[in-house]
Amino acid sequence: MSTPALHETISDSFDIAWVRHQFPSLQLQISGHSAAFLDGPAGTQVPRQVMDAVQKYFLEANANTYGAFLTSRRTNQIIADARAAMADFFHCAADEVVFGQNMTTITLALSRAIGRELHPGDEILLTTLDHDANFSPWAALAEKGVVIRKVDIRESDCTLDLDDLKSKLNAKTKLVAVGYASNIVGTINPVAEITRLAHAAGAMIFIDAVHYAPHGPIDVKALDCDFLVCSPYKFFGPHMGTLYGKKHLLEKFKPYKVRPATDTVPECWETGTQVQELIAGIRADVEYLAELGRRCDPSAQDRRSALLAAYRSTVAYERALVTKLIAGLLAIPGLRFFGITDPQRFHERCSTVSFRLAKGTPLDAATSLGDRGIFTWDGNFYALNLTERLGVEPQGGVLRVGLVHYNTSSEVDRLLAALREFAAG
Ligand SMILES: Cc1ncc(COP(=O)(O)O)c(C=O)c1O
């Protein structure tokens, strides 16, 4: 177990005051309490830079694309700049970045397009750990005779059972759809290894990085994944989704689209008029993270290096917070914890934790915490396969606490004190 002194050292090197200053909504007060936003896994707060970019779009650039006049040209440029920003975020080319309403909508569109090319008897490998948005869109292809297989978890620590995965991969597997990190238990899956296994079997891989994106750097080039999705509203940006796809695959598969819309990649995947003001916000979101990175490491020059520097700092900061949180939770009598608890293995998890208390339902606990200005989530968070597998679905699921880099050690203290009181009451 890490010592309190270690927590202090790590926390001291991170300019949390500057970070929190960037997020105006963190100032919210509820009945004399400061709000503690521990609800990040369902959507994070947004820095001022993102709000300003959205407002600036409406003031200076509000038009549809490809018109022969100023605001339309500005809109084209804003979309191009946001694509370049997300290309740095993913580590890919700008024409491999697709914008969409959210991850679920993007995945439904992609699964339908890929499904056009599949045949009865082809197989798709899914997991018990995933959010349903990385399950049902693929499972629906069973209608075409595609065989759906599901990788189990190891219940003791809520990690993916890789032996089970290997046993279910075969020459008929066309696609493996796997999460980068679990939005309930925080497990980080070995996606590089899973990508290698999928490719060795001749299958494509689709990675749901929605939950991972606020917690760690994404490098699609190093992973060599075929597709990867994440949603900016989970990493300090606006309510949208984004897709990375290898260019030759974005060209190979044909999206359902209307006739006048372009056939050019990546725009052909972006159905109808985009939420351009929010796309402006996505660029500002990436710039915020890069600015954080340059503050953490002034030697980081280009935007990609700055993003990596930001994540080096936030990973260490969040690790210290979650170490303290889990130690505190495990000391609460009767608490049932789901996921990795061994600090030596915390590189295999992010700072999202789920548990049940001996007393009351997760909703009771979330309501009690909410009344004290501590925002947490109860339920299954659409990771239905997992709550069913763990047997907690009929009892209201779990209570989930998510820490991101704007949360503080004192918020963890407040949460633990409130939980101890609730558990004892
Ligand atoms: C791991 C994970 N995947 C997918 C989704 C769905 O994302 P979206 O809301 O962008 O459709 C979520 C949302 O909670 C999630 O946590």
Predicted confidence (pLDDT) at residue 3 exceeds the cutoff of 80: no
Q: Is 133 in the pocket of ligand 1 (CB under 6 A)?
A: yes
Q: What is the mean pLDDT of residues 24-41?
A: 96
> Looking at residue 98, what is its pLDDT?
98
Q: Is 7 in the pocket of ligand 1 (CB under 6 A)?
A: no
| 11 in Cβ contact with 317 (< 8 Å) | yes
Pocket probe mutation, ligand 1, options 104, 230, 233, 400, max atoms within 8 Å of Cβ? 104
| 283 in Cβ contact with 88 (< 8 Å) | no
**Residue 381 Rama label (left phi>0; alpha psi -120 to 50; beta):** left
The tokens for 113 are 């397009």
Predicted confidence (pLDDT) at residue 89 exceeds the cutoff of 60: yes
Please tell me the distance between residue 241's alpha carbon and the centre of ligand 1 in angstroms: 9
The residues near 364 (Cβ < 8 Å, ≥ 6 apart) are: none
pLDDT digits (tens, 9 = 90+) for 130-165: 999 999 999 999 999 999 999 999 999 999 999 999
Predicted confidence (pLDDT) at residue 2 exceeds the cutoff of 70: no
CA-wise closest residue to 97 among 258, 274, 261, 215 = 274
Q: What is the mean pLDDT of residues 177-193?
A: 98
**Side-chain half-sphere exposure of 384, counting CA atoms within 13 A:** 6
Query: Which residues share a beta bridge with 245?
Result: 227
Taking the C-alpha atoms of residue 209 and residue 218, their distance in angstroms, rounded to an integer, is 8
Predicted confidence (pLDDT) at residue 27 exceeds the cutoff of 90: yes
Predicted confidence (pLDDT) at residue 5 exceeds the cutoff of 90: no
Query: How many of the other CB atoms lie within 10 Å of CB of 69?
Result: 8
Q: Name the helix (H) or strand (E) containing 124.
A: strand 123-127
Please tell me the distance between residue 131's alpha carbon and the centre of ligand 1 in angstroms: 7
> Looking at residue 11, what is its pLDDT?
52
Enumerate long-range contacts of 164-171, CB under 8 Å, 24 or more apart: 165/125, 165/127, 165/194, 165/197, 166/197, 168/125, 169/125, 169/197, 169/198, 169/201, 169/203, 170/123, 170/201, 171/201, 171/202
Helix boundaries (H) for 331-408: 362-371, 384-389
| 198 in Cβ contact with 127 (< 8 Å) | no
Q: Is 354 in the pocket of ligand 1 (CB under 6 A)?
A: no
Please tell me the distance between residue 82's alpha carbon and the centre of ligand 1 in angstroms: 21
Q: Where is pLDDT greater, at 11 or 285?
A: 285
Q: Is 400 in the pocket of ligand 1 (CB under 6 A)?
A: no
Query: How many of the other CB atoms lie within 10 Å of CB of 423?
Result: 16
CA-wise closest residue to 251 among 237, 234, 268, 228 = 268
Predicted confidence (pLDDT) at residue 7 exceeds the cutoff of 60: no
Ligand 1 atom closest to the CA of 208, numbered from 1: 3
Q: Is the pTM of this model over 0.85?
A: yes
Ligand 1 atom closest to the CA of 101, numbered from 1: 10
Strand bridging mode 377-379 / 398-402: antiparallel
Hey, whose CA ends up nearest to atom 13 of ligand 1?
42
Please tell me the distance between residue 381's alpha carbon and the centre of ligand 1 in angstroms: 9
Q: What is the mean pLDDT of residues 90-104?
A: 98
Please tell me the distance between residue 400's alpha carbon and the centre of ligand 1 in angstroms: 15
| 238 in Cβ contact with 54 (< 8 Å) | yes
Please tell me the distance between residue 127's alpha carbon and the centre of ligand 1 in angstroms: 15
Q: What is the mean pLDDT of the chain?
A: 96
Ligand 1 atom closest to the CA of 105, numbered from 1: 11
Q: Is 96 in the pocket of ligand 1 (CB under 6 A)?
A: no
What is the biggest distance separating any 2 CA atoms in the chain, rounded to whole angstroms? 67
Q: Is 103 in the pocket of ligand 1 (CB under 6 A)?
A: yes
Q: Is 175 in the pocket of ligand 1 (CB under 6 A)?
A: no
Taking the C-alpha atoms of residue 395 and residue 391, their distance in angstroms, rounded to an integer, is 8
Ligand 1 atom closest to the CA of 107, numbered from 1: 11
Predicted confidence (pLDDT) at residue 22 exceeds the cutoff of 50: yes
Please tell me the distance between residue 360's alpha carbon and the centre of ligand 1 in angstroms: 27
The residues near 381 (Cβ < 8 Å, ≥ 6 apart) are: 41, 42, 131, 183, 184, 397, 400
Q: What is the mean pLDDT of residues 59-73?
A: 98
Ligand 1 atom closest to the CA of 241, numbered from 1: 10
Q: Is 182 in the pocket of ligand 1 (CB under 6 A)?
A: no
Pocket probe mutation, ligand 1, options 105, 183, 185, max atoms within 8 Å of Cβ? 183
pLDDT digits (tens, 9 = 90+) for 361-383: 999 999 999 999 999 999 999 99
Q: Is 208 in the pocket of ligand 1 (CB under 6 A)?
A: yes
The tokens for 29 are 């007060």
Q: Is 380 in the pocket of ligand 1 (CB under 6 A)?
A: no
| 133 in Cβ contact with 183 (< 8 Å) | no
Q: Is 102 in the pocket of ligand 1 (CB under 6 A)?
A: yes
Please tell me the distance between residue 349's alpha carbon and the centre of ligand 1 in angstroms: 18
Hey, whose CA ends up nearest to atom 14 of ligand 1?
42
Ligand 1 atom closest to the CA of 233, numbered from 1: 10
Ligand 1 atom closest to the CA of 231, numbered from 1: 10
> Looking at residue 8, what is its pLDDT?
44
Amino acid at 297: D
